[in-house]
Amino acid sequence: MATRAVGYIRVSTEQQADGGVSLDAQRAKLEAYAALYGVELVDVVVDAGVSAKTLARPGLERALSLLDSGAADAILVAKLDRLTRSV
C-alpha cells in the first residue's frame, strides 16, 4: 500500500521571484518525488504570499487537518524551510 501524502507548498511575497522556490517549481518537485517513490498525492495545498513566522496559516492548517482525519499519512514538502522557519 502506497503512502498517502498531502503536498504543501508555500512562497512569501519576496521569495516568489527566486529561482527554485516558485509554486510551480515546488509542485513539480513534489510530483516527481511522489512518482519516483510511489507516494500517492491526495492533495497539494498552497499558501501563496504567506510568511513562515507562524504555523497559523490556512493552507498548513488544511494539510494538518487531512492528517488528523486520516485522509493522508504524511506531509510532503519540497524543502523544509517551506514548512517553517525554525527547525
Assess contact for 3 and 40: CB atoms under 8 A. yes
Catalytic residue chosen out of the listed positions 12, 22, 51, 65:
12
Active site residue 12: yes
The cell numbers describing 86, all together, are 525554525
> Which letter does DSSP use for residue 3 in this model?
P
C-alpha distances in angstroms, 29 versus 1, 33, 53, 56, 69?
Answer: 22, 6, 24, 24, 25
Catalytic residue annotation: 12
